[in-house]
Structure 1
Amino acid sequence: MRKPVSLPSFEYYLSKLSDNDETLVTVLKGHLVVEALLVEIIQLEFSKNNDFLSEKPWRWSFPQKVNWCIKNGYLTGNKGDALKDFNNVRNDFTHILGYQLTFDRVLNLADKFGNDEFSDITLSKEWYEINDVIIEILNIIFCDLALVLSEKGGADYMSQ
């Protein structure tokens, strides 16, 4: 169960307005892009089968979209699980007041996406910020999903 890390108070909100929320913004905006790509993949398949009027994948939960993509061969189970873990990071940011993403959690997530650039934890913590690793993870996700979409006859976001 998710519980607030900080007490909910108006003073807390006001004091945090000036904090650097770069990682929070990167996760939330990146998640929106990832979810939009998943919806495009699903809608592309529905349009091929003339089912696009009966289904509304933009209303599905993130895990439902990922599970549909796994079931229909657009994602491997491992990639799908990694996407769900990324979704859990996003959920922690949006549902736990005061949530702070740890370097260990983000390195673990990078590993699940097959990024071995951060395999030396000591050097990674010295050379990179958490937001840098999140950006790398989002680049991997975007490239994977954009390639799937393009290969299936959808928009080619890789060349834009």
Structure 2
Amino acid sequence: MRSTDHRDPQRDDAPPRRVLLVALSPIHLHTLRRMVESMAEVQIVDNGDGAYDEAATHFQPQAVVVDLTRLGSLRKARDIAGHSLARGARIVFLGDADDQGLEESVSQEMGALYNPSPDDLMELVASLPSRTQGGSPAAPFVTLSRPGHPDGRGAPTGDPTGH
């Protein structure tokens, strides 16, 4: 596991937001790490097995980004999403899964963000409270329809129904 510590650009003294990157391909890792590090502390886990559990327990991420193509298992994806949601983290899945029903399953049942645009991902990270901000943790449910989705939605919301 690797970690970087970047402070909230709005407040130099505020502890950072925390984002865990799981099983990212080299291109996703390079791109996302550079983007997210400007706003959050980043920890990287190379696979989704035991290393994820340890990182999630100790790092306590507010958002978890998982590459489904490299993770390779619907069971692992569901386990990571369930564990993360139980801790109040937002879930983001990238790539394609072997199971064609995964996108619908994770976005509707688990409230995951699926293949967001870079702007949507950065908006999600920016919406995470820093550790010193009061109030309740960030809402774990975020939905985003992909272009051409029949419901016509295209913006993330905090409502698990997507409204």
Indicate whether the TM-score tops 0.5.
no
Bigger share in strand:
2
Bigger share in helix:
1
> TM-score, normalization: structure 1?
0.29
- Report the structure number with the largest CA radius of gyration: 1
Which protein has greater RCO, CA pairs closer than 8 Å, 6+ apart? 1
> TM-score, normalization: structure 2?
0.28
